[in-house]
Chain A
Amino acid sequence: MRARLFTPAILCAVAITLMTTAWAQAPAPLAAPKAQNQIGFPAKLYSWVIPPDNPQTPAKVELGRKLFFDDRLSADGTVSCDQCHAPAKGFTDQLPASMGIHHAFGQRNAPTVLNALFNTLQFWDGRAPTLEKQIEGPILNPVEMGNKSFDDVVAKVKAFPEYQQSFQTVFNGAITMDNIEKAIAAYERTQTAFDTPFDRFMAGDQKAINASAKRGWSLFNGKGRCMSCHGWNPTQPLFTDNRFHNIGVSAHKSDFVPLARKALVLTSQGGGGLQQLDQLAIQSDMSGLGRFLVTKQPHDIGGFRTMGLRNLLVTEPYFHDGSQQTLWDVLDHYNKGGVQNPYLDGGLLPLGLSESEEDDVIAFLATLTSPEYAGVSNEELEKQRARSKTDRPQRDEAAAMGRAGLGPGFKGPFGDMTPAQNEENPASLGGN
C-alpha cells in the first residue's frame, strides 16, 4: 500500500535490509542525513545537544550509517539497528514490541530515532544518558542483537576489511566500542524531523493546516491539557517535557508494589548496571515498573518518558508496550483520566472531550508529519479512522464526562477525580 506512494524509498530500504553488501551504497532517501534548513528546525537547541567530545563530521556520519544498517553486528548476523528502527517506518518497526535475533520478542515498543538527539535521556525509562550509551543496551541484549560482550562486537568489526579505511579516516584506526558508539550516534544525530504543516503554520502560513486542526491545536493547549507534558515552544519545538509520568498504561497488567520490592532485591544483588536494567526492562515482568527500575523512587513506579509527537502517524502502535493501535485509543485513554493506580501522575484528569473534539485533536496531530512521510501518514490516518468507527477498547464515556464517580460507592480504591466539565471550550475562544 505504502509502496505505491514511496516506491523508490521502500525498495531501497528493503534492499539495504536484505543485502549485507549494501553497506557501501549511497543511503536511501529516507535514511539520508536530514537538512538543517527545515522550517521549525531548532538551530540553537541543536548546537547545544551535539556533545563536544563527539562532533559531527561527514565521514563519521557515513561510517555510523554503515554500522547502523549492518546486520552482521548482531550475534547471528540477522539483526541490524534498522530492524527495529527502519527509516521507512519512521525509524521504528511498527510492532507493539520489538523482535530481535531468533525471532525473540522483548516487552518495549521501539522508540523512533527521529529527533532522539534532543532527548535528555534515552530509552522509555531514561536508563541511558546519551545516544552513545544507549547503543550498549540492544547490542548485548539477548533478545535484541544478542552479542556476548563488547569485545566480541569490536573483534567482529575489526574482521570486516571494508571498515578499516573508514575507522582510519575518522578515528585514526582505533576500532573500539567507544568509537563504534560515537559513529552510530553521530549518524543518529542527523535524523531530525521538522518542516511539517504545523511548523509552517507557526511560521505564519495560515493555510498550512485546516480548521479542524486549528481547533485541535486549541484543544491541545486547553481542555485537552496535552501541552502540560507535550509542550511546544520555538526553542524546544519537540512536544515533550523530557520527564517521566505514570499514566496508568502498565497498571493494566502490573501489580506494582510486589514487583517494586522484587526489583529492589534483584538490582541490589545484580549491581543495577545498564546491562541488568536493560534485561529487566526488555525481558522481565518488571518492565512495567518503568522509570522506577532506574531511580528506585516510589513516585517513578510505572513512569515512562513523555514521547515527542512528531511523525506519530508513522510510528504506531502507541505507548511503551505498543498496547494501543490508534490515536483514538490513545485519546480515549487520556480522556477518561488514564488508568487509576496508586502511582498515577497528578496531571491525569478526566477531560470531557467529545467525539468531534477528539477528531479535531487528531487532525492537529496529523499536521506533525514531516513531508517525506506525508503519504504513509495520510494512509495510516484513514486506516485508524476506519478502525475507530468499530473498535474503541479504551472508550469510557461516563468516566471521561465525569459521571462515573457520582453513583453510589467509590469506583476503584481511589474514587474518581472529576473537575467541573461546564467551562467553555477554549477552542471557541481563540486559535484562529
Chain B
Amino acid sequence: MNHRSYRQLALAAAALCLATAAPAQTTKTEGGTIVLGAAVSLTGKYSTNGKNTQDGYNLAVERINEMGGVKVEGKTYKLEVKYYDDESTSARGAQLAERLINQDHVQFVLGPYSSGLTKAIAPVTEKYKIPMVEGNGADRGLFKQGDKYLFAVLNTSDYYLRSAIQLAAQEAKKMGKDPKTMKVAIAIENDDFSQDVRDGVEEDAKKLGMHVVIDDKLPPDINDMSATLAKVKALKPDILVVSGHEKGAVLAVRQVAEQRVYVPMLALTHCDSAQIAEKYRDAAEYAVCGSQWDRHLAYKDKWFGTAEQYAERFQKRFNYEPPYQAAESSAAVLTFADAIQRAGSLDPKKVRDALAKTDLTTFYGPIKFDNTGKNIAKSMVLYQVLNGDYKMVAPTQWAEAKIVYPAPTWDKRMASTASASKR
C-alpha cells in the first residue's frame, strides 16, 4: 500500500467514526442512562480528598440506581459517572472539562475537589451552558463571577470558623468578660480558600469588637510554625485560629502542644480529614474545628435515611468513615437527580432552571440556592475534641456536648493525665 491509500483509509475511518458518534451527540444519554461527567483528583496532592469525592459520588449513584433510577417523562434512567483524573492541577481540570463536554457529550457535570479546580472548570461549563453541581469548592470568589450554571451544596469557606468566634464570645460573656477585650490571633495559609476562612473570622471578630493581634499568612509549603507560636506566647490571645488544610491542622496541634502554647481556644479546619484526634490524642484535646457535616446531624432524606444511616452505608461499602468531603459529594448527586426529575427533561437549560428552584432536604442538610448558586439553607458544624473524640458543640440544637471554654491550661492537663495514668 502506498502513502495515498493509507491516507484515504484513515479518512474513511475518521468519517465512519464521526458518523457513528453523531447520533450519540443528539441523544446525549445512552440507552436509558444519564451520564454525569466529573474530573476528580485521583493523583497529585489532592488524591486523598479526590478519592473521598469519587466515593461520595459513587455511593449516591449506586443508591439512586438501586432505588430505580431517575424518572424523566415516564421513562426511568440509570445514572452513570464518567471520571477523569485531573492530577490535582487546574490546567488539566479545565482541559478535561472541555473534553467531557465536547468529546464525551456530557450534559451534566459534577464538581472536582477543591476551590482552585472548581474555579478552573466553572468558566468551561459556563461557556457551554452545562450545569455543574459541586460539593467541594467553598471559595467565596467562585460565586462572584455571575455564573448561571454553577451550584454548590456546601457552605462557603468564610463560614468555616465564624461560629467558633461567636461561641467564644458567648462563653466569655457568660463568665462576665466583655468580648471587646478579647484578642484573636490568626495564622492562615495563603490560598483562596483559607484566606476566605480568614475573612469570615476577621469580619465576625470586628463585629464583636475583638482585636486581631496576629495576622500571619502561612506559606503553602509550610512545615514549621514556631515563629508564629512564639508571637502567640508573647501576646496571649484568647483565640488562635489556624487554617491550612490538613497540613495546618497537624502542625498546629503538634507544635502548640510541643511548645506548651496556651490559648483558651484553638480553632482549626480539616481536623477530621487530618485525623488529629485519632493520631495526636492529648495534644489535640479541646481543639475546636469547623466542619461541613457530621453523622450525628438530624437531617433525613428518602435516599439514604438519616445522616447516621448514610455513614453506616458508606462505611460498609468503602471501609472507612465518611469525611464531610464524601457526604457533600453524595449530596451533589442527589441534587442533580432531584432537579432532573423536577425538570422532566434532559435539556441542560431546563435542568439548570430546576436546579435554581431546588428546595430539598438531604441527609447532608437542607439545600436551597441563592441567585449566585451557593447554598444558603445549611449551617456549618463545630466540633470540639473531647476525650479523644469529635463532639459536636454547635449548632446548639444538635450539640452532643457543651463546649469547654476556656480550655484547661497545660499544667492542669498534664496533672489530670498523670493522675489518670496512675489510676
Are A and B part of the same complex?
no
A interface residues with partner B (beta carbon < 8 Å): none
B interface residues with partner A (beta carbon < 8 Å): none
